[in-house]
A and B are shown apart, each in its own frame.
Chain A
Amino acid sequence: MAVAAHAVPHAAHPPTSTGLNSRKMLFWAFLGSECMFFGSLIATYLVYRGRDQVGPHPHEIFSIPFTSFSAFVLLMSSLTMVLALAAIQRGDQKKGSLWLAATALLGMTFVGGQCYEFTEFFYKGLHLQTNLFGSTFFVLTGFHGTHVTVGVIWLWTLFTLAVRGKIPKEKALDVEIAGLYWHFVDIVWIAIFTLVYLIQ
C-alpha cells in the first residue's frame, strides 16, 4: 500500500488503489450517468421539435432577454460556487459560507425566474398537455429546475454547517462535490439555453 499511501488527501479514509477519493469518483460517475439522463431528455425535445399540430410554438412564447438573464444568473452562481470552494479549501469558513449563501441565492433567483416563466407560459396558453412542445419543454426544463432546487437545498445545508464552523479544510471535499453537482447543473443549462431557446 506504500504506493498509494502518500497520495491520500484525507487521513480519515483508508488508502485507495488510485489514490483518488472514492466519493469524488462516485460523483463523477454519477455525473456521467446524468449526461445520459439529460441527453435522452434533450434528444426527445429535439426529435419532437416542429411536430406540433397546434400552438403556441416556441417563437411565440420565449422571452430571450429574460432567459438570457436567468442563464447569466446561473453562470454567475458557478463563479460564486468555485469561490466558496476556494475559501473552504483555504480554511476560511466565514468567506466560504458567504459565497455558499450567494450561490444558493443566485440559484433561488434562477428557480424563481423559472417559476415566473412557467406561469407566464401557462397564461399564454402553453400547458403540459397543450402540444408536444409543451410536454417536452416543461418536462426537460422542469427536471433541470428540480436539479437546481435539490442543489439549493444542498447548498443551504452546507451553509448552515459552514456557519457553525463544521466544514474545516479537511472536509472541503463535501463542498467540492456539491460544487461539481452545481456546475453540472449549470452546464446542462448552457446546453438547454442554446439548443432550446436560441436555436428555435
Chain B
Amino acid sequence: MTDHEHGEHATSEHAHPGAKAYVGIAVILTVITAFEVAIFYIPQMHPVLVPSLLTLSALKFTLVVMFYMHLKFDHRLFSWLFVMPMILAAAVILALMKLFGVF
C-alpha cells in the first residue's frame, strides 16, 4: 500500500460503462453459465471438468467484480482491500484441502 493517493486526482468520478455495456456483460455471464451446465452434462468433457469449470467461474467472478462492482474503474485502493483478502481466502481453502489430503 503506497501513498499515491496524495496529489493525484481521485478517481471515484470516472465514467462508468452505460446500460448497453451492462447488458452485454449480462449476456456474456448467461452464456458462460449455460456453457458450464453444458460441460457438466457432456460426458466427453469430464476429464477436463474441474479445470474448465474453475476457469469459467473465475471469469464470471472477475466480470462481475470488474464491471458491476466497478473495480476496474474505481480507485486502486478498493481493489487492494478486496483482492488481497480474496487471495488469502483462496490460499486458506487450498492449504486446508492440501492438509486434509483432498489433493
Contact = CB atoms under 8 A, between A and B. Distances in A.
Contacts of A184: 69
A130 to B, nearest CB: 21
A153 interface: no
B42 interface: no
B92 to A, nearest CB: 6
Contact of A38 (B57, B89, B97): B89
B88 A36 contact: yes
B44 interface: no
A83 B56 CA distance: 24
Main secondary structure, interface of A, reads: helix
A40 B78 CA distance: 22
A138 interface: no
B60 A190 contact: yes
Interface in B3-22: 5-7, 9-10, 12-13, 16, 18-19, 22
A165 interface: no
B68 A190 contact: no
Interface string B12-34: 11001011001101100110010
A157 interface: no
Given A75-B33, A86-B22, A199-B53, A47 B102 contact: yes
Contact of B81 (A29, A49, A75, A195): A29
Contacts, number: 149
Contacts of B7: 3
Contacts of B90: 39
A8 B5 CA distance: 13
A115 interface: no
Contacts of A8: 10
A24 B64 contact: no
- The 3 closest A-B CB pairs, nearest first, are A39-B89, A19-B10, A7-B10
Interface of B: 5-7, 9-10, 12-13, 16, 18-19, 22-23, 25-26, 29-30, 33, 36-37, 39-41, 49-50, 53-54, 56-57, 60-61, 64-65, 67-69, 75, 77-78, 81-82, 84-86, 88-90, 92-93, 96-97, 100, 102
